[in-house]
Amino acid sequence: MRFSVFHGLGAPGELADYNLHMKNAREYAMRAEELNFWSTWYTEHHFGHEGQELTPNPILMGTDIAAHTSTLRIGQAASIVTFWHPLRLAEDYALLDQLSDGRLEVGVGRGLYGREALNLNPVADPRDQEQNRALFAEVMEILDKAWSNEFFSHKGRFFEFPAPGVKWSHPMSPATPEFTNEDGEITKMAVVPRPYQEGGPGIWQVIDSPRSIESAANDGINAIFWMPPVSELKGRFELYRDKASEAQGRDVPLGDGIALVRDVYVADTMEQAREEFEEAVMNTYRWVTHWRGLGNLMEKGEELTDEHTLDFDFLFERNMLVGTPEYVTEKIQELKDEVNLDHLMLWTTHPGLKHEHAMKSLNLFGEKVMPNFE
């Protein structure tokens, strides 16, 4: 079984210590590598003066972590690809893959917050879901072309590469049919560098809805799930498996190609785990459920009512792995039994959690939980 770190940096009211939070994140990743974690993943959010979501560029963040590690794989959960120019994105991903000797895992998303989208790329406005999805699909198509071909061209709804009408004339770069026509106009282009990994890095998408699950499975994109309880997750795991099996023409095992993010905190006692972790994890859920609501936290067949209240007790039995090493081990085994989970991403570093507590939990997980799943 693979274990990874999902590192959503946050520090409400402590933006003046941003540099310290970066140093803490680096120490956390380096220790995760020592404990034989498979990978670490960083989020992308912008303009977060509230201190909830602090990483505007997970590729740049991953580059720093790659420079301080040697085996830990580097991912994004996720790069919001609709906010970026696709050619720059293809170059930046490939450069990180080169710098890390092929340790890149590409994690992508479409974007959730209007405050971000409308100030970075209004075309990605999440209020227009059909346009947002179309933009996402076109960016992903361009990434694939850029990494799969020495020279490529693209003409779509949102982008055209190379730009028409540009001529090229330089004695050190003679025009050839590979990228120019008889008039010297550029007809194809090359992204440099291409990824270090043969065939390119693995592609992952943070997904929720049945439509997104089906699309990812059809396109060979790995899935990252987060919130729902295991009873609801099972149907999503099965949908991904069924669609991936159809697309690949083989029986894809349940759980194959899927990673699950869970809120994880390990302490010596159940009481200590809750005392140290509760406020930090609730910071995250108060933030995200303001937009998402509580519907994604319902058990299978459960109806959302006014009686449902967001608090720690509501979350604890639904999707948290918080407690002693023995308890957390038991809950992971339940996930293996129910959905054949093979890849767990630990989210311990919720906004406001003390760094020493996060490190202590990581050590207990690595030393007392992980060995049970070797």
Residue 254 and residue 245: Cα distance in Å, rounded? Answer: 10
Q: Are residues 95 and 8 in the same domain?
A: yes
DSSP structure class, residue 185: B
Asked if the structure places residue 98 within a domain, the reply is yes
72-89 pLDDT, tens digit each: 999 999 999 999 999 999
Residue 313 phi, psi (nearest 5): -65, -35
Residue 327 lies in a domain: yes
Mean pLDDT, all residues of the chain: 97
Within a domain: 81: yes
**134 and 28, same domain (yes or no):** yes
pLDDT tens for 321-369 read 999 999 999 999 999 999 999 999 999 999 999 999 999 999 999 999 9
Q: Contact 73/104 with Cβ under 8 angstroms?
A: yes
pLDDT grade for 15, boundaries at 50, 70 and 90? confident
Q: What percent of the chain has pLDDT over 70?
A: 100
Domain end position, chosen among 161, 189, 217: 189
* Co-location of 162 and 239 in the same domain: no
**Is 195 inside any structural domain?**
no
Same domain, 25 and 110: yes
Give Rg (Cα) of the chain: 22
The DSSP secondary structure of 299-367, one letter per residue, reads PTTPPP-TT---SHHHHHHHHEEEE-HHHHHHHHHHHHHHH---EEEEE---TT--HHHHHHHHHHIII
Question: For residue 315, which of 336, 298, 290 has the smallest C-alpha distance?
Answer: 298
Assess whether 96 and 209 both reside in one domain: yes
Mean pLDDT of the region 58-76: 98
Average pLDDT over residues 302-313: 96
Same structural domain, 168 and 272: no
Instruction: Supply the pTM of this predicted model.
Output: 0.96
**Given pLDDT bands bounded at 50, 70 and 90, which one contains residue 13?**
confident
Binned at pLDDT 50, 70 and 90, residue 57 comes out as very high
**Are 105 and 164 contained in the same domain?**
no
pLDDT for res 315: 97
Task: Tell me whether residue 114 is in a domain.
Answer: yes
Residue 114 confidence (pLDDT) above 90: yes
Whether residues 101 and 166 share a domain: the answer is: no
186 to 143, 232, 343: CA distances (angstroms): 20, 51, 45
- Please tell me whether residues 256 and 301 are part of one structural domain: yes
- Residue 194, domain member (yes or no): no
Answer yes or no: is pLDDT of 62 > 90.
yes
Considering its fold, how many domains does the chain have in total?
A: 2
Q: What is the pLDDT of residue 120?
A: 98
| Phi, then psi, of 258 in degrees rounded to 5 | -125, 135
What pLDDT, on a 0 to 100 scale, did the predictor assign at position 16? 82
In a domain, 94, yes or no: yes
Same domain, 241 and 251: yes
3-state secondary structure of 41: strand
Q: Using pLDDT thresholds of 50, 70 and 90, give the confidence band for residue 14.
A: confident
Residues 182 and 124 occupy one common structural domain: no
- Residue 11, preceding peptide bond in cis (omega within 30° of 0): no
Residues 264 and 286 reside in one and the same domain: yes
Q: What is the DSSP letter of 111?
A: -
Expressed as residue numbers, the domain containing 163 is: 152-189
